[in-house]
Structure 1
Amino acid sequence: MVPLLLLPLLWGGSLQEDQGYRLLVQESVTVQACLGVYVPCSFSYPWSPWYYYGEPFIYWFREGDDIHRSDPVATNNPGRQVKPETQGRFHLLRDRREENCSLNIRDARMSDTGVYFFRVERGDRKYSYRDKKLNLQVTAPTEKPDIHFLEALESGRPTNLICHLSLVCDGGRVFSFSWAGDALDAMDPETLHSSVLTFTPRPQDHGTNLTCRVELQGDQVTMERTIRLNVSYAPWNLSINLCFRNVTALKALQNSSSLLISESQALQLLCVADSNPPAQLSWFRTSPALNATRISSTKILELPGLGAAEREFTCRAQNPLGSQNTSLSLSVVWKPASLTGVVRGALAGAGAMALLSLCLCVIFFCIVKDRRKQAARRPEGVDGEDPVMGTIAWGSRQKPWPDGPPDQTSSPAEDAPPSGEQQELHYASLSFRGMKSREPLDQEATSTTEYSEINTS
């Protein structure tokens, strides 16, 4: 036999409902932080109409809390305290119906997320409805703050920015504001904690991000809005880039730069300016005076070849907020004039002759050097010998010898030729035929003298 206690389960009901304890409540509720939510609820319990115990006490407890030691989050029992974190925010609705357990939650917080159960006490009837519980989910607000500009942002002019949040907490909880961004790096941090921001934009602030953050006090909830700044400013950071023809590389030049360039070199000058709104770029020769003639209205200036007068160029960038100029001086290097065919031929011939002379000098130097080496190896006593012919020749101017021996008593005056008579010239030639070097036969014969024929003429 099936026990009687299990029959209600087989019938699809519950023991709680079978005994008269019924609870009707939405089991899952979601609410955004700072906002409120109303949770309808009704209950029933068995009691005897013959006994009157007064109004029942009802409670909402958090899951896991002890019903005897822990404080409830809401109750109508004046003798019980509620949790400090829910006091004034979780309310029970009182009406003529005694079986109303509806819960009104104001200024929901992220910490309120959790599971709650209901309990009733009346006389000796005390019961906790644990079969049905309330699952409360508190999420971050989906609303974001807005950033308003009272006027357009212009470089150098102070302006006010306002961070506004339309969200209003049910409990009157206040918000804290803060600003962040690269444009605020030079500002006092104490001035960044307000819904109104006063700052002076700079050219470098254009295109940077600015963020306003709103935080709920007493809760880990942050809402923020990020915008990109649009700052108007006059042209600045003006520069000229040089690009040679058929060369893709650019060379950046600073203000009033000078450059050495060939007079036949074709090049391009590219002017680059940083401004907002974009600047109108123009090119001038020398400084752009009031009556100067504009040579180009584009950022690129084509220079196919530089003449004598085209050596300095100025780029001007201008927008409604101002203008800026930068100049470039080009120093022209002139190539020498081209030579005619005749001059080129003459120069070529002169070069060939110079080369030939150099070769002859080298040959002559080698011969002289060789002769000096041979003379250094020549034996002593034969200084006048021709190493090739073996002949020494000389000439003398002297008086002929008589057939007999000279008269020892004759005076020099007698020997002198008559006045005005030319002396006879005598020449001699010595020939050493077949001269050979011979070794001495013994120690005593240390030298050998040979004679050769002497012919006079």
Structure 2
Amino acid sequence: TQGAQEAASEMLPLLLLLLWAGALAWEQRFRLEGPELLTVQEGLCVLLPCRLPPIYSLRYIYYGYWFLEGADVPVATNDPHEEVQEETRGRFHLLWDLSSKNCSLRIRDARRRDTAVYFFQLKQKWPNFGYTSYVSSKLSVCVLALTHRPSISIPGTLESGCSRTLNCSVPWACEQGTPPIFSWMSAAPTSLGPRTTQSSVLTITPRPQDHSTNLTCQVTFPGVGVTMERTIQLNVSYAPQKVTVSIFQGNSTALKILQNTSSLPVLEGQALRLLCDADGNPPAHLSWFRGFPALNATLISNTGVLELSQVGSAEEGGFTCRAQHPLGSLQISLSLFVQWKPEGGVSGVLGAVWGAGTTALVFLCVGFIFRVKTRRKKAAQPVQNMDDMNPVMVSGSRGHQHQFQRGIVSDHPAEADPVSGDEQELHYAFLRFHKVQLQEPEVTNTEYSEIKIRK
């Protein structure tokens, strides 16, 4: 009918418009250039490259969207009317530039759970009608554990007492990420210097005792809560602080340490080994000199070891060990005294003297006993005058006792008993000891002890 024809004619433009709009909403595919799999370590940044397909007109509005496969909410977009995922907000950025056809995605502070498959979608919107969609190929991202460690650089050589600047850097960290936190740990005196997002400066003034100690730079990435560190041992150059001498005498393994100038007694003929040591870094050059430094000492050993196979009078005197170092030298001196061994002749004389003295002492004791006994008998019996110097001992029978009182003289002297056949005889012994004079070993001399016996 005529009414139906009129209705159809009115709907035809609308159908054409719907067909046209539907055509504009069709999706077109394009392929991303570059690898299909990207890897990144946690806490770092990664760029997903993307280049826009050819666009026929710049008179329309274009929006870009990056999606996680299987999600309806984008992880990044330049559409102000579109929300993004909470997990990726602030970390995923769309690098949008129509003039250069750039549609790349940058991920900073990468996390392990960011491992996924992503794709890009371009929407070309027509005013009042709809849009044309361009969907890219898929791209996989794999986030690995962080294995990079910071680097520590030391310009020049560390010298005791001199300040040096150390630098701890993480050049592999991205500048767009959350700035890392640097921490230093050291026993040496230090002070912090300026820092950047990728480095930190430390000023150190090492001491001799800081040699071989640890210095650690620790870097924490707060975006992911990961901490990495590097530890080095300080190599501090310093002059010798002390020199010691280890002494080995004869076959003995006993060790004596000398830290100051001192005297060293050594037995004549004994072997002597002196080992000198110093604590500088790098090691000092050690040498031995005969004499003392102030007396123009003579070099006798170009090492720290001095061996004397047989010590005699020629070795008596001063010895100096010198530790020479580019940063300063140190030395230690000692005086060697030779103790002489006693000769065999002198020992024989001393033995004879001791023997004679012992014998004389025995005779002296015997004579003293006889003298006491004789005097007691003389007090009880009359004394007979003798022409010679020997007194007469009057003895009686063993069973007869003589009694007397002190201070009372008898008017009638007692009758003398007959002298027995075993008449006891008293001898006086005069002992004369001469002081022994020790002579030089080369001179042989004999000393005599004189014993005189008179009857």
CA offset at residue 316 of structure 1? Answer: 0.6
AA in 2 matched with 1:324: L
Determine the structure 1 residue equivalent to 2:323.
317
CA offset at residue 327 of structure 1? Answer: 1.6
Tell me: CA distance 1:428–1:161, structure 2 relative to 1, closer, same or farther (3 Å).
closer
Deviations 1:185-240 (A, max 9, x none): x334x559772222223233333333333333433233333333333222222111
Q: TM-score, normalised to structure 1's length?
A: 0.55
CA offset at residue 347 of structure 1? Answer: 3.4
Q: TM-score, normalised to structure 2's length?
A: 0.55
- Does residue 293 (structure 1) correspond to residue 295 (structure 2)? The answer is no
- 5 Å-filtered alignment, 1:248-259, equals 248-259=253-264
CA offset at residue 163 of structure 1? Answer: 2.4
* The one of 148, 153, 159 aligned to 1:148: 153
Determine the structure 2 residue equivalent to 1:31.
40
Question: Does the Cα contact within 8 Å between 2:67 and 2:76 map onto a contact in 1?
Answer: yes
CA offset at residue 391 of structure 1? Answer: 9.3
* The one of 211, 214, 217 aligned to 2:219: 214
How many residue pairs match? The answer is: 328
CA distance in 1, matches of 2:411, 2:95: 167
CA distance in 2, matches of 1:296, 1:355: 58
CA offset at residue 317 of structure 1? Answer: 0.7
Deviations 1:145-197 (A, max 9, x none): 33333322222322222223322416343333332233x3x334x55977222
Tell me: CA distance 1:257–1:83, structure 2 relative to 1, closer, same or farther (3 Å).
farther
Tell me: CA distance 1:136–1:172, structure 2 relative to 1, closer, same or farther (3 Å).
closer
Tell me: CA distance 1:389–1:315, structure 2 relative to 1, closer, same or farther (3 Å).
closer
CA offset at residue 247 of structure 1? Answer: 2.2
Determine the structure 2 residue equivalent to 1:86.
88
Deviations 1:291-341 (A, max 9, x none): 321122221112331537723321111022221111223454444444268
Tell me: CA distance 1:360–1:27, structure 2 relative to 1, closer, same or farther (3 Å).
farther
* The one of 279, 282, 292 aligned to 1:274: 279
Secondary structure of 2:300's counterpart equals strand
Q: Percent identical across equivalent pairs?
A: 45
For structure 1, which segment, 135-144 or 219-228, has the greater mean C-alpha deviation from structure 2 after superposition?
Answer: 135-144
CA distance in 1, matches of 2:369, 2:324: 76
AA in 1 matched with 2:322: R
CA distance in 1, matches of 2:161, 2:346: 66
- 5 Å-filtered alignment, 1:414-453, equals none
CA offset at residue 283 of structure 1? Answer: 1.5
Determine the structure 2 residue equivalent to 1:175.
180
For structure 1, which segment, 220-229 or 240-249, has the greater mean C-alpha deviation from structure 2 after superposition?
Answer: 220-229
- 5 Å-filtered alignment, 1:88-103, equals 88-90=90-92
* The one of 274, 284, 287 aligned to 2:289: 284
* The one of 238, 243, 249 aligned to 1:233: 238
Cα RMSD (Å) of the superposition? 5.2
Question: Does the Cα contact within 8 Å between 1:90 and 1:103 map onto a contact in 2?
Answer: no
CA distance in 2, matches of 1:175, 1:306: 72
- 5 Å-filtered alignment, 1:26-425, equals 30-32=39-41, 33-38=43-48, 73-74=75-76, 79=81, 81-90=83-92, 104-110=105-111, 112-113=113-114, 137-169=142-174, 171-182=176-187, 184=188, 186-188=189-191, 190=192, 195-289=200-294, 291-303=296-308, 304-307=310-313, 310-339=316-345, 343=349, 346-347=352-353, 349-350=355-356, 353-354=359-360, 356-357=362-363, 360=366, 388=398
Tell me: CA distance 1:364–1:29, structure 2 relative to 1, closer, same or farther (3 Å).
farther
Secondary structure of 1:282's counterpart equals strand
Determine the structure 2 residue equivalent to 1:381.
none
CA distance in 2, matches of 1:75, 1:325: 77
Tell me: CA distance 1:106–1:389, structure 2 relative to 1, closer, same or farther (3 Å).
closer
Secondary structure of 2:287's counterpart equals strand
Tell me: CA distance 1:167–1:366, structure 2 relative to 1, closer, same or farther (3 Å).
farther
Tell me: CA distance 1:348–1:59, structure 2 relative to 1, closer, same or farther (3 Å).
closer
Question: Does the Cα contact within 8 Å between 2:245 and 2:277 map onto a contact in 1?
Answer: yes
Deviations 1:99-128 (A, max 9, x none): xxx99451143364567899x9xxxxxxxx
AA in 2 matched with 1:31: V
CA offset at residue 76 of structure 1? Answer: 7.9
Tell me: CA distance 1:29–1:277, structure 2 relative to 1, closer, same or farther (3 Å).
closer
Q: In terms of Rg, which structure is larger?
A: 1
AA in 2 matched with 1:209: N
AA in 2 matched with 1:109: A
Question: Does the Cα contact within 8 Å between 2:291 and 2:298 map onto a contact in 1?
Answer: no
CA distance in 1, matches of 2:76, 2:144: 21
AA in 1 matched with 2:156: E
Secondary structure of 1:147's counterpart equals strand
Structure 2 alignment gaps of length 5 or more: 1-30, 51-61, 122-137, 378-394, 404-409, 419-455
CA distance in 2, matches of 1:168, 1:391: 127
AA in 2 matched with 1:283: W
CA distance in 2, matches of 1:283, 1:429: 91
CA distance in 1, matches of 2:64, 2:169: 45
